[in-house]
Amino acid sequence: MGRLDGRIALVTGAGGGMGSVAVERFAAEGARVVALDLVAPTDAVAAAVAAGGEALAVAGDVTDLDAVEAAVEQGREAFGGLDVVYNNAGVSLPEDGDATDTSEATWARTMDVNVKGVWLCCRAAIPVMVAGGGGSIVNVASFVAHMGSATPQLAYTTSKGAVLAMTRELAVTHARDGIRVNALCPGPVLTPLLAQYLSDDARRQRRLVHIPMGRFGEAAEMVQGALFLASDESSFMTGQSLVIDGGITAAYTTPDRGLEEGDARSPPVP
């Protein structure tokens, strides 16, 4: 028995990173998966099928309600309903900075994908989930929804805080519809989204110094959290934020054990 046996799941941002890993893992755990991305994520679907599961590749933009509704409908026609939504699609634009140098275009695009996209997917999915007796929605926020950064990405951070607030409201609104809504808050994960900020060793070390575990996370580690939230293992859990961040949000300073004197990863003196 898989942890998602008999479930039908929609995964957005399914073409790479945490999304493609989720398509494969959800399918391997018994779900039939609708994999949605701007370009139909055929590679992720092929991996899901190779893992012994069922999946459907769909092209669509999460900021377009018609496209999102069409994806939900394709899943309903192909598989019979919808039980799980994994709202993973998101952007982190390199032009994102602080309040004075983030452009209106960068702000608007970030909010459009990261906030509006989550809302539209929930809007399209919830009626189908209610008709089917409930389900689980997992919204990808971020550890930065819980703390600030002196290397600012103001639009991104603000958008993820909005996802967290939206998650709580949806959770209490739809609890008695049998729908659970939780947020997954990853720390820094080695995906293409993060790689754009690690172009040189100094930038990499500036981030590593704040991670007590001394390394970046892996996409598969985050998807394990999503799988937990999607499954009945979290059946009495809604409106919550599951933080998987290597200890970042728990830390004031980070350990210096095992680091050489002057190592770039050494924590700063408080």
Thinking of the domain 8-187+217-246, which architecture would CATH place it in? 3-Layer(aba) Sandwich (3.40)
Predicted structure pTM score: 0.92
Q: For the residues of 54-110, what is the DSSP string, one character each?
A: EEEEEE--TT-HHHHHHHHHHHHHHHS---EEEE------TT---TTT--HHHHHHH
Which is catalytic among the residues 86, 156, 197, 252?
Answer: 156
Indicate the range of 9-18, 76-85, 148-157, 231-240 predicted with least confidence: 148-157
pLDDT tens digit string along 77-121?
999 999 999 999 999 999 999 999 999 999 999 999 999 999 999
**Confidence (pLDDT) at 208:** 85
Is 156 part of the annotated catalytic residue set? yes
Task: Please state, in angstroms and as integers, the Cα–Cα distance from residue 213 to each residue in 39, 50, 218, following that order.
Answer: 35, 33, 13
Which pLDDT band, with edges at 50, 70 and 90, does 197 fall under? low
**Confidence (pLDDT) at 159:** 98
User: How many Å apart are CA 137 and CA 178, to the nearest integer?
Assistant: 11
What value does the mean pLDDT take over residues 66-72?
98
pLDDT tens digit string along 44-58?
999 999 988 999 999
What is the chain's mean pLDDT, rounded?
Answer: 92
